[in-house]
Structure 1
Amino acid sequence: MSTAEVLTDFSIPEPLPATETLPAADPGARKAILDPGLDLTLRPMRYPEFYERYRAAIRNTWTVEEIDFSDDVVDLNRKLLPAEKHLIRRLVAFFATGDSIVANNLVLNLYKHINAPEARLFLSRQLYEEALHVQFYLTLLDTYLPDPDERAEAFRAVETIPSIKAKAEFCFKWMDTIGQLGELQTREDRRTFLLNLICFAACIEGLFFFGAFAYVYFLRSKGLLNGLAAGTNWVFRDESGHMDFAFSVVDTVRREEPDLFDDELAKQITEMMEDAVEAEMQFVQDMLSDGVPGLSAADSREYLQFVADQRLVRLGLSKRWGSKNPFGFMELQDVQELSNFFERTVSAYQVGVTGDVAFDDDF
């Protein structure tokens, strides 16, 4: 079967029952990426593309201390409209909790079940980047919300802000079911894992965060909050790499176990994306509740559906909405990382690594 066929074939006939335990592995056979166990052998390398992603991520090192928020404080105090200030308060409250959900899933689920040491190298680097994002958002909250009560509310957004609580509940609905699995012993276990991974990549990183980034770039298109936009550029690049890695793991599972990708899984993925769009729209209605000039809930829905369709196509599925991108400012931004979002290849920004680093030595 060709790569193109594998990417689009969601109707493999007569899969084995989902609850049937997988056959015992041949000790001499090549392992699959979701096989139970803990493979520790980097040579010979089974998935060199994941190792190259790890190397690329190392080259893309940045620090929160590089970001200058001094102009942002002036904008917050003198330039932003009250409705724009409400938008920012909601954004930073979501940022304060969103990456923590992602990091927990990395540690408790993805690292546990992706059985390839080169892939776990990337996940280790990703965990560092998620911690860096948390530090960035912590700095945002400390800078943007000087009132301690308001800041405390933002840190407890999943409990205190209904629209953010709805997004968190969506995440837990699709991702929590794998938490009790010690090993992926059955096809149903592996399908559950795939839904977790796809929710993480397509919905949380690929829709919730990409939606939030759009509102940051909207404000920057008006010359506002350049410090936030500068940090978001780097987070955007990191998240694009995380999402692409997760989709590559899905591609690997599809090649190794194509019978998992049937019509039922396709239906569940589409339902998940529909749920994600509706959860994000609750957030949009809250965020724009005071009326932000230049933004509308209708355009936001169109944009979210456009992004969700891109994720479905990347997973080999048909578009659900056929929406267009209404946010021209997204394509006009002078942001290198946007090219990754719109499926173009670019050279990644590189900073921060000095000295001799030998990545190619035999182990």
Structure 2
Amino acid sequence: MTTLLDPGMDLTLRPMRYPDFYERYRAAIRNTWTVEEVDLASDVTDLAKLTADEHHLVKRLVAFFATGDSIVANNLVLNLYKHVNAPEARLYLSRQLFEEAVHVQFYLTLLDTYLPDPDERVQAFAAIEHIPSIRQKGEFCFRWIDSIDRLDRLETREQRRQFLLNLICFAACIEGLFFYGAFAYVYWLRSRGLLHGLATGTNWVFRDESMHMEFAFSVVDTVRAEEPELFDDDLHGEVVRMMTEAVACELEFARDVCGDGLSGMNVREMEHYLRYVADQRLVRLGFPREFGDENPFGFMELQDVQELTNFFERRVSAYQVAVQGSVALDEDF
């Protein structure tokens, strides 16, 4: 029987082997949004109200955003599309690549709006080279991209495990932890009545990233069903080590972003949140919790409900294409 990771390039959509992937592609199409729909005008006024420490947080945040989704897009093109051998899955990956491009455009617009000084913008775009906390996250990402860079075909069990680890890293650690840490800072600012434009755009990015993660996890589920022998104690141990390193990288970023602590946002609480999120990702992958932390951020527990309000009530006439989409209210963030 042909499996999802068998080498080759299946082009046949009928009969469809993985209809769930096709339905995810269709749901993503209904979820279309554009950067031009995000109003950042009020953010300019809010920026003038921020303290020096809050300005530092915002600048670090947009500096990370400036390169994060480009890294994810590179891995989609260089690695994932090549090895997931189902045309309906590649349809979804093509759509995800478009969404990553929209995210990059959104973050470009943020930088141009938030950092009027051209030299500051140049520094932000080069953050992965000269800001240690962002460089550390970048190095973590590139190590996993490079780990399968020379794999043209997944012929052996070990090669398939390498691919799985790359996919899990980008779903659970990059999109599922690094970005969720960044989202927490955005929603902390929103909870204080600040930067509503940033929060609105982030709502839609958040929705996209949740769908990206769930697609990747469904690929993992499919591989687990088809090749259960790949999911042994060694793979479990490698995933736990990967998640632990990702938490450490994001915690270093939190130390940079939060400094000595802000009202309602500090390194200790962010550590609890990151460990909590890491556990959610491990459980979704079929592994036991590793950390046992609780979510300290009430504003993140309500995020899925607030996203519904923003998505369907504030933009009913402007976003008709997405009204048929779905939002899960029982997912842990």
- Pick the structure with more helix per residue: 2
Report the alpha carbon displacement of residue 289 of structure 1 after superposing the two structures with TM: 1.5
> Secondary structure of 1:336's match?
helix
Answering whether residue 28 of structure 2 is matched by residue 60 of structure 1, we say no
Alignment of 1:253-292 (within 5 A): 253-289=223-259, 291-292=261-262
> Secondary structure of 1:335's match?
helix
Aligned residues of 1:221 and 1:329 also touching (Cα < 8 A) = yes
CA deviation map 1:163-216 (0-9, x unaligned): 000001111223311011111111111000000000000000000001100110
- Distance across 1 between alignment mates of 2:255 and 2:11: 48
* Segments of 4+ moved more than 4 angstroms: none
- Distance across 1 between alignment mates of 2:263 and 2:84: 45
Deviates more, 1:328-337 or 1:118-127: 328-337
Q: Which has the higher contact order (CA 8 A, sep 6+)?
A: 1
Answering whether residue 135 of structure 2 is matched by residue 168 of structure 1, we say no
Aligned residues of 1:83 and 1:290 also touching (Cα < 8 A) = no
Letter in 2 for 1:42: L
Aligned residues of 1:302 and 1:326 also touching (Cα < 8 A) = yes
Report the alpha carbon displacement of residue 352 of structure 1 after superposing the two structures with TM: 5.7
The number of aligned residues is 314
- Distance across 2 between alignment mates of 1:315 and 1:84: 35
Aligned residues of 2:189 and 2:195 also touching (Cα < 8 A) = yes
Task: For structure 2, list consecutive stretches of 5 or more residues without a partner in the other structure.
Answer: 310-315, 323-333
Letter in 2 for 1:60: N
Alignment of 1:149-164 (within 5 A): 149-164=119-134
Aligned residues of 1:75 and 1:225 also touching (Cα < 8 A) = yes
Structure 2 partner of 1:103 = 73
Which one of 29, 34, 41 corresponds to residue 12 of structure 2? 41
> Secondary structure of 1:323's match?
coil
Task: For structure 1, list consecutive stretches of 5 or more residues without a partner in the other structure.
Answer: 1-29, 339-348, 355-363
Aligned residues of 1:103 and 1:127 also touching (Cα < 8 A) = yes
Aligned residues of 2:63 and 2:127 also touching (Cα < 8 A) = yes
Aligned residues of 2:247 and 2:278 also touching (Cα < 8 A) = yes
Answering whether residue 198 of structure 2 is matched by residue 228 of structure 1, we say yes
Letter in 2 for 1:328: G
Letter in 1 for 2:88: E
From the CA coordinates, give the structure whose radius of gyration is larger: 1
- Distance across 2 between alignment mates of 1:216 and 1:80: 14
Could you say what the CA RMSD is over the residues aligned between the two structures, in angstroms?
A: 1.5
Which one of 46, 55, 73 corresponds to residue 75 of structure 1? 46
Q: TM-score, normalised by structure 2?
A: 0.92
